[in-house]
Chain A
């Protein structure tokens, strides 16, 4: 369902208002007390307009602890399908896994996400896809604070003339540097897990540089 008219705040559904309400409370100061939601999406391609999300995978991280039972992995039913990217993520158009409609998925995801701080690798990509999907259903953009492991990683590298820094570091490169097994690479939740471990290792490195608060982390670009 595509709605071209922006809904006024009064028209927003209850689940959105409930989600929005959570942001009235401030995030705790201490990183150990903050809930992070590490997420990754699988899509049919790279075009924000034409392509669609096929899966959202996410897990919750708090005080260096990931509770496996409390993770999110939902496959989405889409009419649009792209043969080429299927080779990467392995999600078939009519696979056996149960799929939910996009709106249903978003509802569940907002309920899971709450006001947590989002962590993702190349976060801009995943967040834009989610926001466009929200917009398609007449909903506003995500309100959460966002951290990008790609940017954070760059900050951990030493400053040296001998080291040429790259513009972007892929998740594979991070996994290699941190010795994380890439077993479930290219599944949304598998990538989210790799991102989460990389994030934890990055935090240790940043601590050596006296970067210890959420405020400082958000300021890294």
Chain B
């Protein structure tokens, strides 16, 4: 029976192969037979060697990892629209890989018996099945036929599941060919290259590539004045084009570019100049595939106009982070680079969101990152904590302006959620009317926190005062910072409360110097590294640095370094604290990468003796720093 949901499913399927080959009627019919399966993160869909299910799967939302359990390597990660678990059904054999929900996912389970008749009646669908079958028989685990089995990936996939296979992976080329005819004028084709944001354009005659024009050609031939700006493509182009088959591997592509000293390769159907051009491969594409290096990633982020593309880049960032940690690169440097990249992602999301607005925003604003993100300590995906401050407007315009910014912030937070930032459970987000305010409103807010420092106010200050301007008008932020310091100077009591708040975190060790673990809740018997070890340091650094009226430094380790500089008599302790912060942060990040979570809760039984000793060594520094705060701000005077 056709119904609202089956229409919804059909509407999704029609975008992906092989379903895009079916008639809408057939799709709707098929859709009524489908099951929708929900899998929470890390739930197993099937195990290696399980008997095949009655259906194969297409991912509607989320991502699924396919892996060999034996050596625990992830062979592939399937995304939205990818199909998996099909081959065993046709080959009548057990599953060769384990499928697990890499993120929370919604899958459509398609019964093979319902699907088969379409394959027999529709040649294209049949070919798809044969393709995926054949490719897998030859080499079941290679990625070389990924295109056939999972649908051609649209964006440049940065994720390299296994480095060993890497060289033999096929290149991902841009299929959206930017081309012109031999008669196109230089200025016209240059405009086209600019609007498509590409570095090369293909010259086609009867669909066959006869030449290529790159930025370099334009520079050497037009800008130098050799040829007029109205010259036709035929005169500018480099010819003949060097062509390769689209089955080129990354290594081959690299070799080809080095050999001919060119930056672009043209891919044709059979690899010769006499067949249809199917794509163009730039040095940039190869670099993307080869290296997750920061410059390339930043470039990729800045080019991304769709949230989905940014999500792909973030996978690359995680790979980079993993690599850095393995190579023992200094934590300060890692933090800097990774948070730069994360900031770039957020910036790009905001830029894109602004571009997608129908009417421009009425006044200037600043997007603030709060908490760990504001301190540049957010290396893994964690919650989004943010706020928005906009320029003051006349009183009668305030409500209207605020409504516009809230609506804008909602779009941004939603997109951030898509690329992996969880919503803040306490709603500390710019989309919340409480945290989307004009500059004057923020000042009033801040003043009330400083002058009446109750428990909530201190907590708010500790989250908010680590803000960092991610995007927008820096002047607004500077003005707010100045306001904070002036107010705080007149209310020294505030520092006392902030200091007291910084001592409220539970102790990491008990009386017998044993680790204290959580007593109840979902993380029972785990060690909470954030609350028990990192937060005491962060909180102490904040109150100390704010009491010196310094706002420009947010990163905790750097705050301690600055404090060491300001107070030479305590330099040794502050340097130790700086070191401890970095060590703990690294620890947390490594744990997080290992378990694909925030790394906050650590299972002590899984730590080595050496790791435990390392952890405990930092605890002594924590205790000393806390004592210093206690005495300096005379916390004993405060009734606790």
Partner of B4, one of A69, A158, A189: A189
Main secondary structure of the interface of B (DSSP, over half): mixed
Q: Cβ of A151: which chain B residues have Cβ within 8 Å of it?
A: none
> Is the pair A193, B8 in contact by a Cβ cutoff of 8 Å?
yes
Main secondary structure of the interface of A (DSSP, over half): mixed
> Is the pair A65, B426 in contact by a Cβ cutoff of 8 Å?
no
Q: Cβ of B33: which chain A residues have Cβ within 8 Å of it?
A: 68-69
B461 → A minimal CB distance (Å): 12
Which residue in chain B gives the minimum CB-CB distance to A177?
B423
How many inter-chain residue pairs (CB < 8 Å) link A and B?
90
* Among A17-25, A80-88, A126-134, A202-210, the stretch in contact with B: A202-210
Which residue in chain A gives the minimum CB-CB distance to B456?
A161
How far is B456's CA from A177's CA once the two chains are assembled, in angstroms? 25
How far is B104's CA from A163's CA once the two chains are assembled, in angstroms? 25
> Is the pair B456, A66 in contact by a Cβ cutoff of 8 Å?
no
> Is the pair B3, A163 in contact by a Cβ cutoff of 8 Å?
no
Q: Cβ of A161: which chain B residues have Cβ within 8 Å of it?
A: 455-456, 459
Interface size on B, residues (CB 8 A): 37
The answer to whether A57 has its CB under 8 Å from any CB of chain B is: yes
On whether A71 and B5 interact (CB within 8 A), knowing A66-B35, A163-B427, the answer reads: yes
Of the candidates B3, B61, B106, B414, the one having the most CB atoms from chain A within 10 angstroms of its own CB is: B3
Which of chain A's residues 52-75 have a Cβ closer than 8 Å to chain B?
Answer: 57, 59, 64-69, 71, 73
> Is the pair B3, A158 in contact by a Cβ cutoff of 8 Å?
no
A209 → B minimal CB distance (Å): 7
How far is B107's CA from A64's CA once the two chains are assembled, in angstroms? 10
> Is the pair B522, A209 in contact by a Cβ cutoff of 8 Å?
yes
Which of chain B's residues 76-124 have a Cβ closer than 8 Å to chain A?
Answer: 104, 106, 109
Which of chain A's residues 6-38 have a Cβ closer than 8 Å to chain B?
Answer: none
B530 → A minimal CB distance (Å): 15
Which residue in chain A gives the minimum CB-CB distance to B35?
A67
Q: Cβ of A73: which chain B residues have Cβ within 8 Å of it?
A: 1, 3-4
The answer to whether A184 has its CB under 8 Å from any CB of chain B is: yes
Which of chain B's residues 494-529 have a Cβ closer than 8 Å to chain A?
Answer: 521-522
A79 → B minimal CB distance (Å): 25
Which of chain A's residues 142-191 have a Cβ closer than 8 Å to chain B?
Answer: 157-158, 160-163, 176-177, 179, 183-184, 187-190
The answer to whether B26 has its CB under 8 Å from any CB of chain A is: no
On whether A59 and B5 interact (CB within 8 A), knowing A158-B425, A210-B522, the answer reads: yes
Q: Cβ of B585: which chain A residues have Cβ within 8 Å of it?
A: none
> Is the pair B426, A163 in contact by a Cβ cutoff of 8 Å?
yes
> Is the pair A204, B104 in contact by a Cβ cutoff of 8 Å?
yes
Of the candidates A65, A162, A184, the one having the most CB atoms from chain B within 10 angstroms of its own CB is: A162
The answer to whether A200 has its CB under 8 Å from any CB of chain B is: yes
On whether A190 and B426 interact (CB within 8 A), knowing A68-B35, A179-B414, A204-B104, the answer reads: no
Partner of A157, one of B8, B417, B425: B425
The answer to whether A201 has its CB under 8 Å from any CB of chain B is: yes
| 20 intermolecular pairs with C-beta atoms under 8 Å apart | A64-B37, A64-B39, A65-B38, A66-B37, A67-B35, A68-B33, A68-B34, A161-B459, A162-B460, A163-B425, A163-B427, A184-B7, A184-B8, A187-B4, A190-B4, A190-B5, A190-B8, A193-B8, A197-B38, A208-B521
Q: Which residues of A contact B (CB under 8 A)?
A: 57, 59, 64-69, 71, 73, 157-158, 160-163, 176-177, 179, 183-184, 187-190, 193, 197, 200-201, 204, 208-210
Known contacts A162-B427, A184-B5, A197-B106, then 7 further A-B pairs from the complex at CB < 8 Å, ordered by chain A residue: A71-B1, A71-B3, A162-B426, A176-B410, A184-B4, A189-B4, A204-B40
